[in-house]
Structure 1
């Protein structure tokens, strides 16, 4: 009989230091208050979910860190085993190939990418292998990604990974204080039981999705895709390092940041009820300016949505409409604000 994993040891005070609660900045209003309330409740309790939409690429070889750092927007150079980062793989013209979680282990790096982009990302990465001592293997059937959100996330992820012979790292999932554990596929059931027993319930995908949308966190294939620039997806503040050295697509990404702006922007809206994804966003005069990409109800009965709108209409406080619903831009960009 397989021994059950135990994560009952409480997180140390040190593990809780520096935790930044999920925060939602938005214009005043009842729906905005609900956003803030939901954000606060999420920050006080740790929850988890299995990221079934994440495939796994395993990168090995002595040049792996330097090589991959030249192909993603996040800065991997200062990281050591047990650390990780959230970033983007971009094309040479700066568009997003995939968003990625990168977890460093002693002898490898694990890259979590959207399932539907794994083959393309694998092909793209290998096309930039010349003389480097690097191998990239598609290993999605062997590994599963557990995301943890809340104050005890890093400590629970580390213990779950250690007990299951996996790997873990603190990195941005829904907030800066989150973490992931990458464990063997056969360990899903015992890890789920152990994490739940330690006080972090494993949420169904639908419940996690509600939290994601409420916090304004975009998802590849839902809110943005391979035609999107980082600034259009409002990801430049948490997925792009503007201090690191060169990487594929850097020239275009930096030019957009330093010399102007994109033509559209993913923005959070506050509404009285939930609009349908794909619904048209319009000005009060009726001009179509964008589309709803995700939406969810809030605890007070109002709603929030993510919408890709023309940049000129993405300023906080801008009054818009989604069908018969009045809407207001609730924050300048998704995600917790620094």
Structure 2
């Protein structure tokens, strides 16, 4: 892979589907279900969130865009519109699941994936990427390839649904606390488990998703599931990896037992020497 050269770029979000929630109760309805503070979003604002089981396991990750109303945002009296980006393969089932939870609320749920377009525009880093729904790419900005996006994602330590996290993942394991979980909002599904881990367990989980850097000059990209070991003891496994031409080494993300999940820890990824970086997020 060639070194990533662009300081800007955009890519098509074929990996994501889109749900639309409308109605006077759309915001409080979603607020009661997901981990981040939807009610605090201004019009045009976005936030990441997770939707959990009562046991604190992930049903999905999501990014929420609040499209309206244009006035009286804190206590809306007119119809709201939220667009929710979710994994493409889950969009249909999630739309049906949310719709089944509507009783007397004024909320309409629709899967609009096929009827809308979605691109992301690179900011200063992958963490600052901006989503555009039904908007054209910025003029003069290059389209990025899938391999470039994957390299940037792993370099940034961003967990991806279906690759680094799934229905068995507790969001704290995947480092989603800072960007996807509000610690000040009211109740939501699965909150009790999150609070118990944070306040009674000191935030300690059995494993952590970590950034991993193989030694300079490494070129063998490990497959998902490759063992991560410390002192000949298996400590975890790789979830995603890429050769970074910019860093001249293989970079990876992988789950590591909490006793070993410290930045700077020397490990082996398969047969390759490597060093743990910061936790992913």
Name the counterpart of 1:277. Answer: 224
Please tell me whether the aligned partners of residues 89 and 98 of structure 1 are also in contact (alpha carbons under 8 angstroms): yes
Q: State the aligned residue count.
A: 261
CA RMSD of aligned residues (A): 1.9
Deviations 1:18-64 (A, max 9, x none): xxxxxxxxxxxxxxxxxxx98xx87xx22211111101111011000
TM-score, normalised via structure 2 length: 0.87
Deviations 1:226-281 (A, max 9, x none): 11001111111111111111111111111111221211111111102232222111
Q: Distance in 1 between matches of 2:241 and 2:18?
A: 28
Q: Distance in 2 between matches of 1:325 and 1:52?
A: 33
Q: Distance in 2 between matches of 1:72 and 1:174?
A: 23
Please state whether the residue corresponding to 2:36 is helix, strand or coil.
Answer: coil
Please tell me whether the aligned partners of residues 97 and 117 of structure 1 are also in contact (alpha carbons under 8 angstroms): no
Moved over 3 A (4+): none
Name the counterpart of 1:7. Answer: none
Please state whether the residue corresponding to 2:126 is helix, strand or coil.
Answer: coil
Q: Distance in 2 between matches of 1:225 and 1:142?
A: 26
Name the counterpart of 1:10. Answer: none
Please tell me whether the aligned partners of residues 51 and 147 of structure 1 are also in contact (alpha carbons under 8 angstroms): yes
1:308 aligns with 2:251: no
Q: Shift of the alpha carbon at 1:103?
A: 0.8
Q: Shift of the alpha carbon at 1:196?
A: 4.4
1:174 aligns with 2:130: no
Q: Distance in 2 between matches of 1:85 and 1:312?
A: 31
- In structure 2, stretches of 5+ residues that fail to align are 69-79
1:290 aligns with 2:212: no
Q: Distance in 1 between matches of 2:60 and 2:227?
A: 26
Please state whether the residue corresponding to 2:40 is helix, strand or coil.
Answer: coil
Deviations 1:126-146 (A, max 9, x none): 333221110111111011221
Please tell me whether the aligned partners of residues 146 and 182 of structure 1 are also in contact (alpha carbons under 8 angstroms): yes
Deviations 1:62-107 (A, max 9, x none): 0001110111111111223211111111111111111101111124
Q: Distance in 1 between matches of 2:241 and 2:16?
A: 22
Change beyond 3 A, Cα 1:67–1:239: same
Please state whether the residue corresponding to 1:266 is helix, strand or coil.
Answer: strand
- In structure 1, stretches of 5+ residues that fail to align are 1-36, 152-172
Q: Distance in 1 between matches of 2:143 and 2:106?
A: 39
Name the counterpart of 1:148. Answer: 121
Name the counterpart of 2:101. Answer: 128
Name the counterpart of 2:76. Answer: none
1:54 aligns with 2:16: yes
Q: Which residues of 2 match residues 1-338 of structure 1 at below 5 A?
A: 45-106=7-68, 107-151=80-124, 174-175=126-127, 177-183=128-134, 191-192=136-137, 195-197=138-140, 200-260=141-201, 261-272=204-215, 273=218, 274-284=221-231, 286-298=232-244, 299-331=246-278, 333-335=279-281
Please state whether the residue corresponding to 2:259 is helix, strand or coil.
Answer: helix
Please tell me whether the aligned partners of residues 90 and 97 of structure 1 are also in contact (alpha carbons under 8 angstroms): yes
Decide which structure has greater helix share. 1
Change beyond 3 A, Cα 1:290–1:205: same
Q: Distance in 2 between matches of 1:262 and 1:326?
A: 25
